[in-house]
Chain A
Amino acid sequence: MSILITPTTKILIQGITGEFGARHTRLSLDYGTQVVAGVTPGKGGQFFEHGAHKVPIYNSVADAAKATGATVSAIFVPPPFAADAILECADAGLDLAVAITEGIPIKDMVRVKRVMQGKKTRLVGPNCPGMVCPGPGKDSQGGCRIGIAPGYINKQGHVGVVSRSGTLTYEAVFQLTSLGIGQSTTVGIGGDPVNGTSHLDVIKLFNADPDTHGIILIGEIGGNAEVEAARWIKANCKKPVAGFIAGATAPAGRRMGHAGAIVGGTEDTAAAKIAVFKECGIEVAITPSDMADALLRAAKARGVTLS
Chain B
Amino acid sequence: MNIHEYQAKTLFEQYGVPVPKGTAATTPGECIAALAQLPEGPTMVKAQIHAGGRGKGTFTDGFKGGVKYCKTKAEALEIAGKMLGNTLVTLQTGPAGRKVQTVYFTGASAIKKEYYLAILLDRTTSHPVIVASTEGGVEIEKVAHATPEKIHKVFVDPACGLADFQVRELIFKLGLTGAEAKNAAKLIRNLYTCYWDTDAAMVEINPLITTPAGEVLALDAKVSFDDNALFRHPEIVALRDLNEEDPKEIEASKHALNYIALDGNIACLVNGAGLAMSTMDIIKHFGGTPANFLDVGGGATREQVVAAFKIILGDANVKGILVNIFGGIMDCNVIAQGIVEAVKEVGLKLPLVVRLEGNNAVAGKATLAASGLALVSGDTMADAARKIVKLVA
Contacts and interface: CB of A to CB of B under 8 A. Distances in A.
Contacts of A289: 282, 380-383
A250 B282 contact: no
B39 interface: no
B228 A261 contact: no
Interface stretch (A5-13, A40-48, A168-176, A209-217): A168-176
Contacts of A194: 121, 123, 126
A250 B328 contact: no
Given A149-B328, A168-B272, A248-B284, A106 B199 contact: yes
A203 to B, nearest CB: 17
A257 B258 contact: yes
Contact of A171 (B158, B258, B326): B326
B230 to A, nearest CB: 9
A281 interface: no
Contacts of A220: 274, 277
A24 to B, nearest CB: 8
Interface string B318-345: 0000000010110000000000000000
B382 A287 contact: yes
A163 B293 contact: no
A128 to B, nearest CB: 11
B275 interface: yes
Nearest to A80: B231
A228 B328 CA distance: 30
Most buried by B among A148, A152, A248, A265: A248
Nearest to A253: B92
B273 A107 contact: no
Nearest to B274: A165
A65 B280 CA distance: 44
A259 B227 contact: yes
B226 interface: yes
Nearest to A224: B124
A98 to B, nearest CB: 16
Contact of A254 (B226, B260, B271, B358): B260
A241 interface: no
Interface string B230-252: 01100000000000000000000
A211 B271 CA distance: 32
Interface stretch (A68-76, A109-117, A230-238, A294-302): A109-117
B274 A110 contact: no
A167 B199 contact: no
Given A170-B328, A191-B273, A106 B290 contact: no
B128 to A, nearest CB: 7
Contacts of B220: none
Given A114-B126, A171-B275, A223-B123, A257 B293 contact: yes
A165 B293 CA distance: 15
Contacts of B295: 257
Contact of B228 (A111, A170, A257, A259): A259
B285 interface: yes
Contacts of B392: none
A173 B232 CA distance: 38
A97 interface: no
B358 A170 contact: yes
Given A27-B329, A107-B199, A114-B159, A167 B272 contact: yes
A108 B232 CA distance: 12
A257 B249 CA distance: 12
A93 interface: no
A105 B270 CA distance: 25
B125 to A, nearest CB: 10
Given A148-B298, A166-B272, A174-B326, A288 B124 contact: no
B253 to A, nearest CB: 12
A134 to B, nearest CB: 15
B357 interface: yes
Given A106-B229, A254-B260, A258-B274, A287 B281 contact: yes
B260 A105 contact: no
Most buried by B among A163, A244, A247: A247
B118 interface: no
Contacts of B328: 129, 148-150, 153, 166-167, 170
A165 B273 contact: yes
Contacts of B282: 287-289
A167 B356 CA distance: 13
A222 B123 CA distance: 9
Contact of A256 (B127, B273, B329): B273
Given A194-B121, A247-B281, A270-B281, A166 B229 contact: no
Interface of B: 92, 121, 123-124, 126-128, 141, 157-159, 196, 199, 201, 226-229, 231-232, 258, 260, 262, 270-285, 290, 293, 295, 298, 326, 328-329, 357-359, 380-383, 385
Interface of A: 24, 27, 79-80, 103-111, 113-115, 129, 148-150, 152-153, 163-171, 174, 191, 193-194, 218, 220-225, 228, 244, 246-251, 253-261, 265, 270, 286-290
Cβ-closest 5 pairs across A and B? A165-B274, A257-B273, A167-B272, A105-B229, A167-B275
21 contacts: A109-B126, A110-B126, A110-B127, A110-B128, A110-B158, A148-B298, A165-B272, A169-B274, A246-B277, A250-B293, A251-B262, A255-B227, A256-B277, A257-B272, A257-B277, A257-B295, A259-B226, A261-B274, A286-B285, A289-B282, A289-B382
Given A105-B229, A165-B277, A249-B284, 10 more contacts: A110-B126, A114-B157, A148-B298, A166-B272, A167-B271, A167-B328, A174-B358, A257-B277, A258-B273, A259-B228
